[in-house]
Amino acid sequence: MNAEIIAAGSELLTAEHVDTNSLHLTAELNNLGVEVTAKAVIGDDRDRLADAVRAALSRSPIVIVSGGLGPTEDDVTREAVALALDRKLVFHPEIAEQIEARFARMKRKMVEVNRRQAFVVEGADALPNDRGTAPGQWVEESGGVVILLPGPPHELKAMFERQCLPRLRRLVPGLAIRTLLLRVTGMPESDLDQLISPVYKKYLNPVTTILAGNGDIQVHLRARCASVGEAEALLAEVGAPIEALLGDKIYSRNGDPLEVVVGEMLHKAHATVAVAESLTGGMLGERFTTVPGSSRYFLGGFIAYSNAMKVDLLGVDPQLLAHFGAVSRETAEAMAAGARRVTKATYALAVTGVAGPESGEDAAPVGTVYVALADPEKSVAVHRQFLGDRTRIRVFTTQMALDVLRRRLMVRA
Amino acid sequence: MNAEIIAAGSELLTAEHVDTNSLHLTAELNNLGVEVTAKAVIGDDRDRLADAVRAALSRSPIVIVSGGLGPTEDDVTREAVALALDRKLVFHPEIAEQIEARFARMKRKMVEVNRRQAFVVEGADALPNDRGTAPGQWVEESGGVVILLPGPPHELKAMFERQCLPRLRRLVPGLAIRTLLLRVTGMPESDLDQLISPVYKKYLNPVTTILAGNGDIQVHLRARCASVGEAEALLAEVGAPIEALLGDKIYSRNGDPLEVVVGEMLHKAHATVAVAESLTGGMLGERFTTVPGSSRYFLGGFIAYSNAMKVDLLGVDPQLLAHFGAVSRETAEAMAAGARRVTKATYALAVTGVAGPESGEDAAPVGTVYVALADPEKSVAVHRQFLGDRTRIRVFTTQMALDVLRRRLMVRA
């Protein structure tokens, strides 16, 4: 079964704004087994919007229109859909009362213009909006449906989930959906694809999607079958060989990002961690502390951006620094050992490297990175050469550092 | 004059991908004085795409189709446009030779399938692509034009700029465009709008757009006139009173972000800065070091996430910490003073606060933030209460900290 999504609103035709509601709606529709075959953005123009709704409904049994349900003259979705279906708009006094009551709860008086929001397409169900004033509408038409949703994402999401999903499930032939998400790091997307595509390319169902960015790869498998049992069996059949091929490059099976996985490992091991950052300037600490409760294992650390800070804060030997340079295996190891010594953390991670755009006095090329991990026994550095711009190199480095610690914790677990 | 933009490609109908090419194209078209009145995304379906092109051309004289020019069966844009205009596709041997030469330069042999890319709609101009194999096409039709561009953004942008802009300037009545961009921080968007809307609402030209996010507000003014002189005069007429109202809340007039502006002020003052971060866990240092060359003024600092780190690394008096708590004016001031003392920086910024989601033992509510600035004379903290989730509170705090330093540097300048 197919659906089309239309976003109404002139602000979505500017150079600054993109319609993101359709991404959420697409994910929800795909989960029902519904494919989205076209999307459109139309400005605040009643006749154009009516044309778009009419055309979409001629091709697809489900048409969702988001936005344009506000109280002002610019909000033309109600009128456009009525026009497209050749129906009247009917005033619902009980909706006007609900809107008025909502204003009263906020200690405000309803503005007269809000009465526009109480008009509903003839024969349609009004969909209550508990996060805003604009009700949605569910308009059935010759076997198909036009669904009107408010534009603000938190209103749209809640209304779709509570009001539309139950109705759509009755409309759409039943399908059981089961998904598997593997998060992987430490290899390029192209290598991963070469490795696992011989497995997943044999199957149209489950659908396999690979998303990569910032040194992180997500492998999504979505199985759609007539029963839950079949979907789970199919997912296991395709998922097991993929998991075997990726091995310990898989760091998460529940969607958790790497900083959460590493944080849980640290917490379970009753271990603590500190950082000493040159290249990343604080980005690694920032990632650790993105996680609520990270104070249980993350002590803090040092942003040792200048050479003086490496010596003064971390106790790196100035002669070692002068001899090997700030971007070297030896300096990274000394930084990690120093951070561990001063903070008394179980582990310390140190990063140094060249983010560019220029490579400076160190003569190491842009993208050269050393990550060192100090543990109770030793401090050992790993070298990598990244490509890309300053931001990419820094982000990849934090991913690499977290993964170095993850692998160390796996060995000890 | 109006334009419509169609993005071709089934991958743009998934829950993961959004068409961003249209944002770039919209900005370029707006600069020519062309308004975008509708956008669409169509999957790899020749007939649907042909319908969409035909419908768009019936409404708008400029239709741009991006994507679907690759060499595989999925790439149906050439055929769809030929179908929509009822024209043939013509094989251009010289294009096939160029593609073959491009492969040869990469020491590879052209795959047979790439010959598909040498087909051009009858009567169309092929647009050379110096960043990829797929040529674009410029197809004039009864006063209008259909423009075919490759999907990869860097190919599309270069081709649009070099091949399409000169042609469009001949097609579109001449207009001079001048823009003003003000970046503002330290006030909510609603307050800013209330302050300046009495000025800009009087004018349809220049168009004023306000974009807000992460504690940062951008005010864009775009004047379109028959001559450069008129556009500049109009921009001055509207811009001057807005600048007067916003005063020193404006931190940038050239688009530079706050960390660049503050970095330049530090560099000019021959001053250095260090940080001591609790709440933000490294995010403030990360923002400073986003800027290439930041090592000239950013020394580094401390991520003092645990109380022990505040005492051990920054020398905060344990009794003061116990008495006032980690989230307090006094602790923030002691952290900044300690960071300045240890690093010998001209200035030190310290941040402490409660990022949530829970407020912990400190009893300060989520969103409580103290930023302290230590300079050669004293250490003074500023208090703010932010709303929102953990990420929002942390990002707003870095913006606040940078602005505290900016204001201090303004006074000294």
The CATH homologous superfamily of the domain defined by A258-412: CinA-like (3.90.950.20)
Nearest CA in chain A to B272: A306
Give the distance between the most distant pair of CA atoms in chain B.
85
DSSP annotation of B163 reads I
* Cα gap B238→B229, rounded to integer Å: 14
Q: Helix/strand/coil (H, E, C) string of chain A?
A: CEEEEEEECHHHHCCCCCCCHHHHHHHHHHHCCCEEEEEEEECCCHHHHHHHHHHHHHHCCEEEEECCCCCCCCCCHHHHHHHHHCCCEEECHHHHHHHHHHHHHCCCCCCHHHHHHHEEECCCEEECCCCCCCCEEEEEECCEEEEEECCCHHHHHHHHHHHHHHHHHHHCCCCEEEEEEEEEECCCHHHHHHHHHHHHCCCCCCEEEEEEECCEEEEEEEEEECCHHHHHHHHHHHHHHHHHHHHHHEEECCCCCHHHHHHHHHHHCCCCEEEEECCCCCHHHHHHHCCCCHHHCEEEEEEECCHHHHHHHHCCCHHHHHHHCCCCHHHHHHHHHHHHHHHCCCEEEEEEECCCCCCCCCCCCCCEEEEEEECCCCEEEEEEECCCCHHHHHHHHHHHHHHHHHHHHHHHC
CATH topology (fold) of A2-171 = Molybdenum Cofactor Biosythetic Enzyme; Chain A (3.40.980)
**Which of A289, A346, A349, A391 is the best residue to mutate to test the B interface, defined by the most B CB atoms within 10 Å of its own CB?**
A289
A91 vs B170: CA distance, rounded Å: 51
Can you give the pLDDT at residue A412?
64
Q: Give the tens place of pLDDT for each residue, A300-310.
A: 999 999 999 99
B288 shares contact with chain A (CB less than 8 Å)? yes
Nearest CA in chain B to A355: B292
Nearest CA in chain A to B40: A40
What is the dihedral sign for C-alpha A185, A188, A190, A195? Answer: negative
- Identify which of A18, A39, A209 has the shortest CB distance to residue B40: A39
What is the distance between the alpha carbons of residues B45 and A106, in angstroms, rounded to a whole number? 49
Contact list, B278 vs chain A (CB under 8 Å): 300
Q: Would you list the domain boundaries of chain B?
A: 2-171, 176-252, 258-412
Contact (CB<8Å) B306/A283: no
> Which one has a higher pLDDT value, A288 or A211?
A288
- CA–CA distance from A92 to each of A73, A96, A108, A117, B319 (Å)? 19, 7, 21, 9, 65
Find which of A303, A344, A395 to mutate to test the B interface (most B CBs within 10 Å of its CB).
Answer: A303
Beta-carbon contacts of A175 under 8 Å, excluding residues fewer than 6 positions away, are A32, A33, A224, A225, A226
| pLDDT of A270 strictly over 80 | yes
At B70 the pLDDT is 86
C-alpha–C-alpha distance, residues B386 and B109, integer Å? 59
- Asked whether the predicted pLDDT for residue A362 surpasses 60, the reply is no
Residue A207 buriedness (CB in 10 A; 0-12 / 13-18 / 19+)? middle
User: Of chain B residues 101-160, which have a CB less than 8 A from chain A?
Assistant: none
Model-level pTM? 0.79
B341 phi-psi bin (left φ>0, alpha ψ -120 to 50, beta other): alpha
Angstrom CA distances, B51 to A180, B81, B84, B221, stand at 37, 9, 7, 37
Mean pLDDT of chain A: 92
Contacting A residues, span 190-219, partner chain B, CB-CB under 8 Å: 209, 211
Distance from chain centroid for Cα A252: 15
Q: Which chain A residues contact residue B312 at CB under 8 A?
A: 342-343
Nearest CA-CA partner of B278 in B239, B242, B307: B307
Residue with the larger pLDDT of the pair B237 and A130: B237
B43 contact residues in A (CB cutoff 8 A): 37-38
From the list B282, B290, B356, the residue facing A303 with the nearest CB is B282
Alpha-carbon distance of A223 to A208, in angstroms, equals 9
Of A38, A299, A306, the CB nearest to B309: A299
Closest residue of A to B47, CA-based?
A59
Spatial separation of the C-alpha atoms in residues B141 and B155, rounded to whole Å: 25
Q: Are A208 and A198 in contact (CB under 8 A)?
A: no
Cross-strand partners of B302: A302, B276
The confidence score (pLDDT) of residue B412 equals 64
User: B187, exposed or middle or buried, with CB in 10 Å at 0-12, 13-18, 19+?
Assistant: middle
Helix (H), strand (E) at residue B304: strand B298-304
For chain A, the maximum distance between any two Cα atoms, rounded to a whole number of angstroms, is: 85
Q: Say which of A37, A42, A284 has its CB closest to residue B43.
A: A37
The dihedral of CA A154, A155, A156, A162: what is its sign?
positive
Give the number of residues written for chain B.
Answer: 413
In the prediction, which pLDDT does B413 show?
A: 61
Q: Provide, as residue numbers in chain A, all residues whose Cβ is less than 8 Å from the Cβ of B282.
A: 275, 277, 281-286, 288-289, 301, 303
Structure tokens at A186: 């430490």
This model of the complex carries an ipTM of 0.78
Q: Which member of A13, A281, A313 has the closest CB to residue B26?
A: A13
Q: What tokens does B10 get?
A: 């089934």
Quick check: A302 and B300 CB within 8 A? yes
* Model confidence pLDDT, tens digit, residues B53-110: 999 999 999 999 999 998 877 889 999 999 999 999 999 999 999 888 888 887 777 7
Contact between chains at A285 and B303 (C-beta distance less than 8 A) = yes
The residues with which B65 forms a beta bridge, in sequence order, are: B6, B148
* Cβ-defined contact of B342 to A313 (cutoff 8 Å): yes
Contact (CB<8Å) A45/B30 = no
Contact A179/B at CB under 8 A = no
Q: Are strands B2-8 and B62-66 parallel, antiparallel or unpaired?
A: parallel
CA-to-CA separations, B54 to A141, A378, B47, in angstroms, rounded: 26, 69, 11
State the count of interchain CB pairs (< 8 A) between A and B: 205
Say what the pLDDT of residue B222 is: 87
A138-148 pLDDT per residue, tens: 999 988 999 99
The Cα–Cα gap between A90 and A75 comes to 16
Q: Say what the alpha-carbon torsion angle B307, B310, B312, B313 is, to the nearest 10 degrees.
A: 150
User: Is pLDDT above 90 for A174?
Assistant: no
Smallest CA–CA distance from A272 into chain B, residue: B306
- The secondary element (H helix, E strand) that includes residue B407 is helix B390-412
Query: A40 and B38 in contact by Cβ < 8 A?
Result: yes
CATH code, A176-252: 3.30.70.2860
Q: How, if at all, do strands A119-121 and A89-91 pair?
A: antiparallel
B25/B36 Cα distance (integer angstroms): 9
d(CA B380, CA B105): 62
Would B2-171 and B258-412 be classified into the same CATH topology?
Answer: no
Name residues of chain B where pLDDT drops below 50.
none
Interface test with A, best of B5, B208, B286 (most A CBs within 10 A): B286
Query: A residues 331-390 near B, CB within 8 Å?
Result: 342-343, 355-358, 390
Q: How far apart are CA B74 and CA B11, in angstroms?
A: 11
